[in-house]
Structure 1
Amino acid sequence: SKLKDISVIRGMPLKELSLDRCTSLQDLEPLHGLALRILTLRGSTAIKNYEPLRGLPLETLHLNATPISDLSPLTGMPLRVLYLVSCTTVRDLEPLRGMHLTELHLGDCGGVTTLEPLRGMPLTKLYLQRTGVRSLEPLAGMKLTDLSLNLMPSHIFENAEPIRGMPLEELELYPFKDVSSLKGMKLRRVVLNPMAPPKGIDVLRGMESLRLIHAGVDYTPEEFWKKYDEGEFKKKS
């Protein structure tokens, strides 16, 4: 969109606003004081100043592929859902500390090295991709039902201890080197590489909740273990 000026919305009783891909939009000042609950700025790459967002009663905010670097204007918002995918200049999540986020999307933020500001959040959905995060330990104790860890640094996968006890239903196991700590969880579907299984894979045998094991294709647990125990997967390697 070639939209440059949004002054016409000043003072409007808007609850939701989408300014997707407004690549000529630079000034968000007309948003100041609005009662917005949902705001989408996805792909609006010319915005210079995010300070007008401060104090907005936003519950959902989409900032994917924007040039935001300082998240401090978000401090104190009643945010529940936040998208920060392809926000390549974001380095620090500290302004999010203490928020009551339930869903966070964080991707292609290589400068983000710690999840410590998220500790204790009521997150139920967390999607991480290509970040510089050094440890999953701040996630310990969270009640996550959805967790994605795509293309993350290998050293964070030494073991699955930080996700022990989470109410996850699905989990990609192939990055983890040791999954022994998943014992007692109630996973329904897992994704793994049977030709390079993690240590402790046998904890899945006793997981009564498990319905599908994806190893190239979906198998029932019975089908998977039969092939696994007979060495069928090794024959394919």
Structure 2
Amino acid sequence: MTDLATEIENIKALQASLQERLDADQEVLQQLAKRLWAQQESEKAKLSRELHDGIGQLLTGLTRRLQSLSASSPELEALHAIAEMALNDVRQLSRLMSPTILDDLGLKPALNWLCRNLLSDENIEYHTDIMLPSDLPKDISILLFRIAQETLVNAIKHSEADKITLSISYHHHVIRLDILDNGVGFDSKSIEPGIGLSSIRDRAEAFNATLEIDSAVGQGTRTTVTVPV
């Protein structure tokens, strides 16, 4: 009996040791994932600056030149309009790739700007209700911003919604993001997640966050993210 009890204790000790190693490996993987996302954000910021300072400046010069010539030719006036649209698209892409408002003013103004920028021209009525701690870490701000960005873009592309609500609450060191649309919804069991959704799932896991998507055909979609702070 004593030998059996000893063997059981040895097995328990081995299990505890293996669990500790698994926990340590998981922590290492999470830190690696966070560094990967940080590197991606850094690359996006670099590309954003190159778009703004390179292509953006060239298009600015082109639009000014065409504007000065457009009075003499309807064709040049049309080219000027096309160049203006291209310049606006480059500026928009640059801002979305690396929104300086997130660094300058914080997550709440950045999310309000994101909703206004993405939804105003889509005839989608939106409402935001955002409550955040004053000392929210930058990496969590970026996490929530990117998840909101991907979710809103998906809603514009696929949901056919005309109303969207974005809310953030903060209780007991946990932040909760909810994005609700009144669109056509979908059957989550029959839809393969795309690259965007897989990316935000992976990013959420790196921060010990949970991502839940609740949808049904004809009943809209709710995306919920909870992040421990």
Same fold, TM-score > 0.5, yes or no: no
TM-score, normalised relative to structure 1: 0.27
Higher-helix-fraction structure: 2
Q: Which has the larger radius of gyration?
A: 2
TM-score, normalised relative to structure 2: 0.28
